[in-house]
Amino acid sequence: MKKLHSIYLAIIALVITVLACNFSLAGPKPAPIPVSTEAVQSLQEEVSNAAQQIATIGSATIEITESQLTSALALSLQQLPVLTNPQIHLQNGEIQFTGSASQAGLLGDVNVILKVEAGQDCKLRLQVVTAKLGPLPLSEDMISGFLPLAEEAISSMATSGGKQMCIDSIVINEGKMVITGHSQ
């Protein structure tokens, strides 16, 4: 009987091990977002249309897709080979940036998750949820240097004729970021 009990335990342990090796708690990886100049042109048109709306009716809504953001970032980073294969996913109120970083022969995956909200002062606020290089967290110095650049990049999409649009709301879900605002 003891021998049969040991066999059952061994089979259960084997099944659990096999399942653990094939099961990912993170879920499936999202499909890679293709990079295109057409997506960047579409983003530029969206921003231009919003600028016209601000000038004529005093308010605007900008809808930005993962493809537009990923393409704009990837094309702007072509001159900076330290960061490759950038991907921006927009889901559940968060911006998730992933990519590969290489410096002095070392290669690692970058994963940064940001929460974005409209502030009382008409500007957006970014909060870092996670920032890692491989399994290691990014340093506070790197994060504090990155946040103003990210805020400026997103805010520049809400600028019309040199005037900053007062951001009323930002909604991020299902691959889109919708920014609504009015003229200041």
Residues with Cβ within 8 Å of residue 158, at least 6 apart in sequence: 50, 62, 164, 165, 167, 179, 181
Determine how β-strand 176-182 pairs with β-strand 136-137: unpaired
Residue 30 counted as domain residue: no
pLDDT score for 66:
96
Q: What is the pTM of this model?
A: 0.77
Is residue 176 in some structural domain? yes
pLDDT given for residue 1 in this prediction: 52
Please report whether residue 87 resides in a domain: yes
Q: How many CB atoms lie within 10 A of CB 175?
A: 15
Q: Is residue 26 in a domain?
A: no
User: ∠ CA(113), CA(117), CA(122), 5° rounding?
Assistant: 140
1 domain residue, yes or no: no
Q: Write down the pLDDT at residue 163.
A: 65
Q: CA distances (Å), 9 to each of 4, 6, 20, 21, in order?
A: 9, 5, 16, 18
pLDDT tens readout for residues 132-158: 988 888 888 877 777 777 777 776 666
157 vs 120: which has the higher pLDDT: 120
What is the domain count for the chain?
1
Strand order across the beta sheet in which 106-118 lies: 83-91, 94-103, 106-118, 124-133, 136-137
State the average pLDDT over residues 109-134: 89
CB 51 within 8 A of CB 135: no
The answer to whether residue 142 sits within a structural domain is yes
Q: Which residue has the higher pLDDT, 23 or 166?
A: 166
How confident is the model at residue 23, as a pLDDT? Answer: 41
Q: Would you say 146 and 129 are in contact if contact means Cβ atoms under 8 Å apart?
A: no
Q: Has residue 6 been placed in a domain?
A: no
Domain limits for position 168: 36-182
Q: Checking phi first, is residue 148 left (phi over 0); if not, alpha (psi -120 to 50) or beta?
A: alpha
Residue 87 neighbours by CB distance under 10 Å: 20
The torsion angle over the Cα atoms of residues 37, 38, 43 and 48, rounded to 10 degrees, is: 110
- Does a structural domain hold residue 29? no
Higher pLDDT, 3 or 157: 157
Helix residue ranges, H only, the chain: 2-22, 37-57, 66-76, 140-156
pLDDT in tens, 13-56: 344 443 444 444 455 677 889 999 999 999 999 988 988 888 88
